[in-house]
Structure 1
């Protein structure tokens, strides 16, 4: 009886044949959020500042309904811990539902109106840019108050002008400024606000805003 001899070239040939094999099988699509519930339940907790507790209660139905009916999330207001709790449900169909819902609630807690914040649920390109006046220029006391006044303007005139020209929404909360809009529009609004903080005359800023508004209309 002769011994079986396996040559190195035979091994290499077999390895190549195996590596070249194409395995026929079904192609599976990515799991939906509903299918992923069998694996895990996602959860978010959004803290609510003390000054937004009362507005939250007053607007709770307007906040609750789109989260439950449109985003298919489970929602609870935890008054004791001063937060809004969100989690996915078996009816959730979009993987981004939870993050969109959290962004919506967070926008409201920052001071945006519900009617403005709800756009975060409908449009993917919107986001919030937040910064402090101190990030632009180190100011204290009366200098800080004057900078805030320049950004807001008399009866909010300057803020409204920036919002209308750049198609954004702006919240001035003490020394913090929050801008809601698309990436490009948020940059334009922030540029105007920074100019005001640094001391640019409102008239000059208005002129630049008009030019921006004109260019944006022409681009449509």
Structure 2
């Protein structure tokens, strides 16, 4: 079978084909701007360095840009706070003062379930604070433990308040009359000792049988707990008063 004639060329034809330039209609189409390539390369490299470079403040700590809010599908979260039976009557009486901060300030949906003896909280699309549900639960729980409504509202407005709970048997095992005397030493006559501890340490204390609840800042809770533990262990109230006076004077000097 003979080879195609289009593929057969003599050596002089091959040399002529290699040396002949290709026809070009416009010379500008083949010109490449080197400066544009260099500028694009430098821009991409600088942008990449800016993206990877970490910004550091004066103390050497890294700075991060604030997170962007992403609008996505809203999922409602619910919380249920159980109310002890002896706090249901105060809850009904104080309900007009309890739900306005939860609804107006935290933008939560609230209802009192009398049959289940609980307060139910739910977030909605109008809730802006991501920690609103937890704050609302802490507020209702503080009221259920026996704190006043005005004191519990402070949990919504201040972020540095906590509640600590412990029992008398955690400090010392007492039974019978010894337990009653320990509770009496903590409360004092007409509640004077408890009020003195609250005023000196700037906390709120609730005595619920053997359980003791303290509401306040971290350091203030420590001061109140030390005074209550001293009374449980048998220290005379006069000595505890003296220590509280020293602590109160130190706190005034510090502020």
TM category, shorter: 0.7 to 0.9
User: Normalized against structure 1, the TM-score is what?
Assistant: 0.85
Q: Report 1:128-147 matches (<5 A).
A: 128-147=163-182
- The RMSD of aligned alpha carbons is 2.2
Q: State the alpha-carbon separation in 2 of the partners of residues 86 and 216 from structure 1.
A: 38
| Aligned counterpart in structure 1 of residue 232 of structure 2, from 189, 197, 202 | 197
> Can you give the 5+ residue segments of structure 1 that lack an aligned partner in the other structure?
1-20
Given candidates 185, 210, 213, the residue that maps to 2:248 is 213
Of the two, which has the highest radius of gyration?
Answer: 2
Tell me which stretches of 4 or more aligned residues in structure 1 moved more than 2 Å.
21-25, 27-32
Query: CA 1:30–1:126 in 2, change beyond 3 Å: closer, same or farther?
Result: farther
Matching of residue 29 in structure 1 with residue 67 in structure 2? yes
* CA apart distance, 1:141: 1.1
1:49 matches 2:87:
no
Question: Which one of 204, 207, 221 corresponds to residue 169 of structure 1?
Answer: 204
1:109 aligns with 2:144: yes
Could you tell me which runs of 5 or more consecutive residues in structure 2 were left unpaired when the two chains were aligned. Answer: 1-46, 52-64
Counterpart Cα distance in 2 of 1:216 and 1:151: 22
Larger relative contact order (CA 8 Å, sep ≥ 6):
1
**Count of residues in correspondence between the two structures:** 199
Q: Deviations over 1:135-181 (max 9, x none)?
A: 00001111111110010101000000000000000000000000000
